[in-house]
Chains A and B, each alone.
Chain A
């Protein structure tokens, strides 16, 4: 029996980590992630969670401590955002390359300068090539569900990779809404104890992460890439089991009123829910438009994308991170790359906005649909087109 409780997004991921009975939390506080770490610290202090809370002096150390803990066989959890995320960047690659199932919540926030604290995906998008599995949550229930299932997926012997849950800073992390929490027994039945097959063991010393020369590095990276890509069936299998147990089913790309739609709008994260209202309004006016919510960002869900866009003529992708001097937005660019040569008949437009916590109203999502359609009809667009931003 699950119970329905009011919970802010930060506490939703913390609650999932507590119910997953994590062994080690190593973290450094940063807005808007602080509530997550404060709550984990309270759990440990109050005896609600038997774990080691490691208060480190920086995010680089936080991820390094997670590396050691996970490698030694401890179920390990952390959280960060923005500048802190960037400080741990170097270690992100090591944790992924070492095949360690660390689970991390990222309370997404813009990057400075200018100094800021508000949300966008500038931090998330910087980690696209680190080898971490990554999902975007659209509401607080998904934050809980994705965090809990992340432990199971990451620790599966067929996966053994770290997992990032992206949750909008403030617009999810600080919003209180209803979340269904399962019973502890249900969680225990879903999530077996973590056991790394090659855990660090002083009685059986091994060498990890040794030097590789040009003669072998390429092969290892190729193998790592094949492995990361190959985890999609396991992710789907475990999300299916999660759905069977808890009643909520997740897919790499979720479709909303998309069947037979001429135009599909694609949005990742919490703003996809505001976008649904825009789609509802346009459907009421007889317009053939639907929404794709991008959940799984890594590995990139190629097959799910091809299936989701079947029959559509226009795909309008919304992005929340600037790529200063690069090709358009990061999600737009990847969608174009993934579809090129596969669906040359599908016209793809991209619009960026909602940087640094800027509100994006329903009417502005309608503007995205209209301008996206116009770009598709015209067949060309400016490299960077924005909505709700002056200049």
Chain B
């Protein structure tokens, strides 16, 4: 892991993108490390493209700007791949995680990504575990598989704290995504 890990999330209003970044940061903070999470600051509308930012470090984080050069991208809404260039500023040694029914290899070919790609069908997993088409908690598991930034237990605690009775399905989604993530260098 670099000195400071910077993750940029791309989704749409209502998909839980901002919540995922926040819960991931909370888990990191709970384990005694430092994290910062925040949404792209703009009018919040359901369905509109949303960006969320997550920084993780062993030290207090002092930078207070948007993340222009992320280490990792988390694409919660795969349709954004066809509509905007989500890879703007992604570091040369960066990684892309996509919620998609295609395999990592297929995504890399389709979009010509020069970075390693990881794919997980978060929507399918969510339908089977949460019974709702919301892939955000699956993407938390995928992100942790790629970064190893925090223990799965710390993430589970955050899901329990936030979702209460509905936590079990979310924890299953997150765990499955962690285990089933398809990676292509």
Contact = CB atoms under 8 A, between A and B. Distances in A.
A65 interface: no
B62 A176 contact: no
Contacts of A273: 62-64
Interface in B76-115: none
Given A118-B41, A170-B38, A176 B65 contact: no
A242 B41 CA distance: 33
B150 interface: no
B174 interface: no
Contact of B22 (A4, A5, A176, A274): A176
Contacts of A171: 38, 41, 64
Interface residues of B, number: 22
Interface string B33-76: 01111110111000000000000000001111110100000000
A361 interface: yes
A178 B63 contact: no
Contacts of A184: none
Interface residues of A, number: 27
B41 A274 contact: no
B65 A274 contact: yes
Interface stretch (B23-31, B131-139, B165-173): B23-31
Nearest to B28: A6
Contacts of B25: 6, 176-177
B171 to A, nearest CB: 19
Contact of B38 (A118, A176, A361): A176
B89 to A, nearest CB: 12
A359 interface: yes
A274 B26 contact: no
6 contacts: A6-B25, A8-B38, A174-B39, A174-B41, A175-B64, A361-B68
Interface of A: 4-6, 8, 32, 117-118, 168, 170-172, 174-178, 270-271, 273-274, 276-277, 357, 359-362
